[in-house]
Amino acid sequence: MAQVLCCISPQEVGPTMVGDEHSDPNLMNYLGATKRNMLGNHFWEYYVNDAPRIVLDKLENCGYRVVSMTGVGQTLVWCLHKE
């Protein structure tokens, strides 16, 4: 089964959003992510304090590869794919 994952960071140094409330808990644990709810949001997100390059290296070790990257204002977004 193919999987797609997006990493989002408002800066080049972190923190990095790595998932939502439906993300694989084992992968989130491997990344060292914590689940939090921002004031005013009706959903939960997983964040790590690591810089995106650290997160991307960890995901590469799990078999993910970057398929696209873009900037949205001050935010950077990477989309990754795993077979």
Which has the closest alpha carbon to 65: 18, 22, 14, 3?
A: 3
pLDDT value of position 49: 92
Distances (CA, A) of 50 to 9, 56, 73: 10, 10, 21
pLDDT value of position 59: 94
3-state helix, strand, coil in the chain (%, to 5): 20, 40, 35
Distances (CA, A) of 64 to 20, 36, 46, 54, 58: 17, 24, 18, 13, 9
Q: What is the mean pLDDT of the chain?
A: 86
Distance CA 79, CA 68 (A): 5
Is residue 21 pLDDT above 80, yes or no? yes
Global model pTM greater than 0.85 = no
Name the strand (E) or helix (H) holding 27. helix 25-31
CATH of domain 2-82: 3.30.1410.10
pLDDT value of position 1: 42
